[in-house]
Amino acid sequence: QVQLVESGGGLVQAGGSLRLSCAASGRTVSITDMGWFRQAPGKEREFVSRITWRRGDTYYADSVKGRFTVSRDNAKNTVYLQMNSLKPEDTAVYYCAAGVRGTNNLYDYWGQGTQVTVSS
């Protein structure tokens, strides 16, 4: 089992920045990939970014490329999402997810989410 706890959400004006954190605990040695997703009211959850745990390869949705940066600190079992140049359309609940070895799922564990609100 892996437990994930997000933090760092809040209210920010358009053009501002926030940094989200996701701390993993439990069987962290089994983690292979960490992802960030978001869900806005009335919309489906969508992919934002991901990072491979061992190599640190990063991937981004086109909508956030150049504005968001994902990183990890393996020693702290924590992944970060630095969000710059925020737009009102970035408003959503942000979730982190962890994929582990030995399953057929890309992501097996999810955090509780943290609200990000960007005012215009």
Q: Distance between CA atoms of 76 and 87, rounded to whole angstroms? A: 30
SS3 assignment for 87-106: CHHHCEEEEEEEEECCCCCC
Is-contact 81 20, C-beta < 8 A? yes
Cβ count near 57 (within 10 Å) = 10
pLDDT tens digits for the chain (120 residues)? 999 999 999 999 999 999 999 999 999 999 999 999 999 999 999 999 999 999 999 999 999 999 999 999 999 999 999 999 999 999 999 999 999 988 888 899 999 999 999 999
